[in-house]
Amino acid sequence: MNENVLDGSRYGANIVVLSKNSNNSPIVNAEVRSAIENQSLILPVYIDDVELEGHLNLFLNDIQGIFNEKPIKDEKDLDIFADKVVEEVHKTLDYKFKH
């Protein structure tokens, strides 16, 4: 898996990995709330087909996310999706700092 996906944090960006499990996580909710309070860029990454609930729905519903288009069955699928995420993160950060 490409570790560059985590580099967004040093640019004031928060990558939020969303799944059925993280949907109800108090830690994820707190991190998203903190990012919003600090006016940080939030990049939602959906690894499951999940319908956001509660605060996550309120905070993230209108933010363009990165979606996994097929189930991750093995490490190869994970690597393919990670590469897609890294590419999208770099595009988003390039756009943010050029405008």
> d(Cα 7, Cα 30) in Å, to the nearest integer?
20
- Are the C-beta atoms of residues 85 and 5 closer than 8 Å to each other? yes
pTM for this structure?
A: 0.76
Residue pLDDT, tens place only, 7-51: 445 557 788 989 888 888 899 888 898 888 888 888 899 988 888
Residue pLDDT, tens place only, 65-99: 899 888 889 999 989 999 998 888 888 877 766 65
Read off the pLDDT band of 5 (50, 70, 90): very low
Strands of the sheet with 13-18, listed across from one edge: 13-18, 41-46, 66-67
Q: Give the per-residue pLDDT at 11.
A: 59
